[in-house]
Chains A and B, each alone.
Chain A
Amino acid sequence: SAVISQKPSRDICQRGTSLTIQCQVDSQVTMMFWYRQQPGQSLTLIATANQGSEATYESGFVIDKFPISRPNLTFSTLTVSNMSPEDSSIYLCSVGRGAVNTEAFFGQGTRLTVV
């Protein structure tokens, strides 16, 4: 298993500003994922953070809006840029080996409210 520390746990931000969310894992992991969960919805994958290369973004998400860093195998950040109220969501960091029979582990999530 992996222990994931994600911070901040929650924040209230002004529109137009940016917030950087940090994800620290207690062991080296190849794959780190960032999800968004809008109110009352399921999880939507934003991107896969790859160490030493650019993140791979899912359809509908762009690097300018959600820049991601992955400086090493235990750490990643997601920035939500130029925020609007529509960005109010829970953002979740996840790690896993990506194999069929391995579960994904999650950080405690960041509950973001944009006002």
Chain B
Amino acid sequence: AQKITQTQPGMFVQEKEAVTLDCTYDTSDPSYGLFWYKQPSSGEMIFLIYQGSYDQQNATEGRYSLNFQKARKSANLVISASQLGDSAMYFCAMREVRNYQLIWGAGTKLIIKP
């Protein structure tokens, strides 16, 4: 069964608008971590934000915030005031406490239009 689902293969957003990238996950483990990474066309993977399953508050890092809805098993990434440099692939990933490996979603290609 797929553990990380990103339902948006691609998105076009106007510059300066806010963007929400969807991520749902599936786990029976009560302890897990959720991660978002950005991959520009150059290929490197850039860590953006982390949310722990026991964290009471949604994570924020600058323009990035994570809308964590535990009961719905969703961990959507919100980018405020999008910029042209935000154009990239975005991956959601999860790590369960019983498994050190990261489980990756299929990714969402985000294109910011000027």
Nearest CB in chain A: distance from B90 CB, A? 11
Q: Size class of A's contact patch?
A: 20 to 34
Cβ-defined contact, A108 with B43, below 8 A: yes
Cβ-defined contact, B43 with A105, below 8 A: no
**CA A37 – CA B32 in complex, angstroms?**
24
Contact with B42, one of A48, A96, A104, A108 (Cβ below 8 angstroms): A108
Which stretch in B18-26, B64-72, B79-87, B95-103 binds the other chain?
Answer: B95-103
Given the interface contacts A98-B100, A101-B52, does A92 sit within 8 Å of B45 by beta carbon?
A: yes
Nearest CB in chain B: distance from A33 CB, A? 8
> Does A43 interact with chain B (Cβ within 8 Å)?
yes
Cβ-defined contact, B32 with A42, below 8 A: no
Cβ-defined contact, A90 with B43, below 8 A: yes
> Does A29 interact with chain B (Cβ within 8 Å)?
no
Nearest CB in chain B: distance from A111 CB, A? 6
* Residues of B participating in the A interface, judged by any CB pair closer than 8 Å: 31-33, 35, 37, 42-47, 50, 52-53, 91, 95-97, 100-102, 104-107
Q: 17 A-B Cβ contacts within 8 A?
A: A41-B106, A43-B45, A43-B104, A92-B45, A96-B100, A98-B95, A98-B100, A100-B52, A100-B95, A100-B96, A101-B33, A101-B52, A106-B37, A106-B45, A108-B43, A108-B44, A109-B43
Q: Can you list the 3 inter-chain pairs with the closest CB atoms, starting with the nearest?
A: A98-B100, A109-B43, A106-B45
